[in-house]
Amino acid sequence: MMKMHSRDAARAALTLLRALLRRQLHSVGIVGAPFSRGQPRDGVQRGPDVIRGAGLVRKLEGQDCMVKDYGNLIFEEVSNDHPFGTTKQPRAVGLANKQVADAVQRVKNDGYTCVMLGGDHSLAIGSIHGHAACRPELSVVWVDAHADINTPLTSPTGNIHGQPMSYLIHELHNKIPVMPNFSWIQPCVTAKDIVYIGLRDVDPEEHYILKHLGIKTFSMTEVDSLGIARVMEQTCDHIFSKIKKPIHLSYDIDALDPSLAPATGTPVIGGLTYREGIYITEYLCQTGLLSAIDIVEVNPKLAKREEEAQLTASVAVDLVLGCFGRVREGSHRADYKIPEP
Ligand SMILES: [Mn+2]
């Protein structure tokens, strides 16, 4: 287990104390990762700024969160990034994810719940890796239309945003080739500590991997048959079966139905409703164990009209708000009094 530097521990304690003194329940650290090389469509690198543009920080502060925006990471261009086998742009993806891992680790050491705004879903490699460096016992809730668990050798497209989980799972370690700029990555999650929600477009090789490793999945069929409330109960029963673990929520906007989140690279019909999507965040929030969140694959350039881009970004904001205490019944300050005439 990595030892937390005593200065980091002190800083984290101070952040928490400050939040408590101001009656702020949540302290949120935001990292933007404007990166698109894990997939072929231009525009997803604008995700962090369109999500901020939809009022993310102001709305979080409006619900009494203490927010620190760490800004956007700056990724260098990588030249001669030819494919490794069929895997595309491995050097750029490996390098960017190292930066994301370092940034997430810093945000966690500063005492915040980390919100990583993508960018494409390849960035979950760095986000989960950096989170696990501080919280090695973490569990992962992966909300997505896709399983993103192809290995470089099973991937039908060679796009790394369809592969991030494969690099992180201990049980798949011996199936992963050594790729340029990927040598820093160590598996940090066990198959039993992962839950998928929202699946509806899974490759045969991925389906084999999910079944072979016994990973808990709630496809859209289970969401339909159980209802989202029982899906979330069973999700938490599964990840908390032995001890209460910090949760890494990796939320791909394409988990939601394309009618709600049209501005994304690989939309699949038949997704989560707005209410189901929000319920996931509300439920995980009230566990008190949400420790890091990814919001990825918002691509404003793929919107047919400006309203589609705005709708997708505002839904993304609502997901984050749900993670930090927004409840639909409404809320009020503890010291509120009705004014008297
Ligand atoms: Mn995904």
In this model, does residue 123 exceed pLDDT 60? yes
Active site residue 121: yes
pLDDT at 4: 56
Instruction: Using the mean position of ligand 1's atoms as its centre, give its distance from the Cα of residue 218 in Å.
Output: 15
pLDDT at 114: 98
- The structure's pTM equals 0.94
Active site residue 170: no
Active site residue 282: no
Instruction: Using the mean position of ligand 1's atoms as its centre, give its distance from the Cα of residue 128 in Å.
Output: 14
SS (H, E, C) the chain: CCCCCHHHHHHHHHHHHHHHHCCCCEEEEEEEECCCCCCCCCCHHHHHHHHHHCCHHHHHHHCCEEEEEEEECCCCCCCCCCCECCECCHHHHHHHHHHHHHHHHHHHHCCCEEEEEECCHHHHHHHHHHHHHHCCCCEEEEECCCCCCCCCCCCCCCCHHHCHHHHHEHHHHHHCCCCCCCCCCCCCECHHHEEEEEECCCCHHHHHHHHHCCCEEEEHHHHHHHCHHHHHHHHHHHHCCCCCCCEEEEEEHHHECCCCCCCCCCCCCCCECHHHHHHHHHHHHCCCCEEEEEEECCCHHHCCCHHHHHHHHHHHHHHHHHHCCCCCCCCCCCCCCCCCC
Mean pLDDT of 276-287: 98
In this model, does residue 1 exceed pLDDT 60? no
> pLDDT per residue over 7-39, tens digit each?
778 888 877 777 676 666 899 999 999 999 999
Active site residue 254: yes
Active site residue 82: no
From the candidates 26, 121, 131, 248, give the one annotated as an active-site residue.
Answer: 121
Q: Report all structural domains of the chain as residue ranges with CATH numbers, in order of start.
A: 27-324 (3.40.800.10)
Instruction: Using the mean position of ligand 1's atoms as its centre, give its distance from the Cα of residue 26 in Å.
Output: 26
Active site residue 248: no
pLDDT at 2: 46
Instruction: Using the mean position of ligand 1's atoms as its centre, give its distance from the Cα of residue 150 in Å.
Output: 11
Choose the weakest-confidence range: 68-82, 112-126, 275-289, 322-336. 322-336
Instruction: Using the mean position of ligand 1's atoms as its centre, give its distance from the Cα of residue 158 in Å.
Output: 14
